Amino acid sequence: MQFLSLLKRVALGAAGVVLALAAATAKADTYYFTLSGADTFAATWSLDSAPMPAATDYVTGDSFILRDVIATLPDGSTASFTLQFFNGMYSYGGLSVELTSDPNGGSIFDSSGGQLYGGSEGAPVFSIDSFSLTASDGAAYTLTISNMAPVPEPASYAMLLSGLGALGFVAARRRRT
């Protein structure tokens, strides 16, 4: 009898650990970026709120690069871009966008403006806001960073169902005694 009691406690403890781990993975903050303005370039993409650029892809006090970012263009097509975010304190601030598949590596959008991130170039953190940017051709653009209401991840539903199941188990057990 003691063995079964111990087994139940271990099983409930293991279930609690699994639920805690599932809860931790379900809290990723994804931010949505919308670049709009003049007709020459527009795109939307999503990034983690605190991306980690590779060690070779940032220069302290200047900029950081995020590679292979999939963006949606106004016609509904997608493309892979390399994004470079510039520090507004020591550089001119702003954003540069290059088409990843371009063997020449030429920018298709260059802009200046305020700094678009906080933290350091090695550990940047984006904030929800709208930023005014001026493209290299003088056209005005707006970069909007938002966190649209996320769709619950499957882990969230699993936690809900597990919690309801545990409550049902406890209620049924109390009725028996």
- pLDDT tens, position by position, 27-47: 458 899 999 987 778 899 999
Q: Dihedral angle at the C-alpha atoms of 56, 57, 60, 64, nearest 10 degrees?
A: 180
pLDDT the model gives residue 24: 45
pLDDT score for 164 = 82
Does the structure show a pLDDT above 50 at 25?
A: no
Taking alpha carbons only, the member of 41, 62, 54 closest to residue 117 is 62
Q: Is 0.75 surpassed by the pTM of this model?
A: no
The closest alpha carbon to 34, from 173, 158, 128, 159, belongs to 128
Residue that is written with structure tokens 């409930």 in the block? 12
* pLDDT exceeds 60 at position 55: yes
Beta strands in the chain (DSSP E): 30-37, 43-48, 58-59, 63-72, 78-86, 94-99, 107-113, 118-119, 124-125, 129-135, 140-146
Q: How confident is the model at residue 9 (pLDDT cuts 50, 70, 90)?
A: low
User: Where do the domains of the chain lie?
Assistant: 30-146
Digit-coded pLDDT (tens) for 57-93: 998 888 999 999 999 988 889 989 999 999 887 667 8
* Residue at 160: amino acid letter: L
pLDDT at 85: 92
pLDDT digits (tens, 9 = 90+) for 135-171: 888 889 999 999 875 456 677 777 888 888 887 778 7
Highest mean pLDDT among 13-22, 94-103, 118-127: 118-127
Handedness of CA 31, 91, 104, 142 (dihedral sign): positive
DSSP state of 116: -
Tokens of 97: 């966008």
What mean pLDDT, rounded, does the chain reach? 79
Q: Which CATH number fits domain 30-146: 2.40.128, 2.120.10, 2.40.10, 1.20.120?
A: 2.40.128
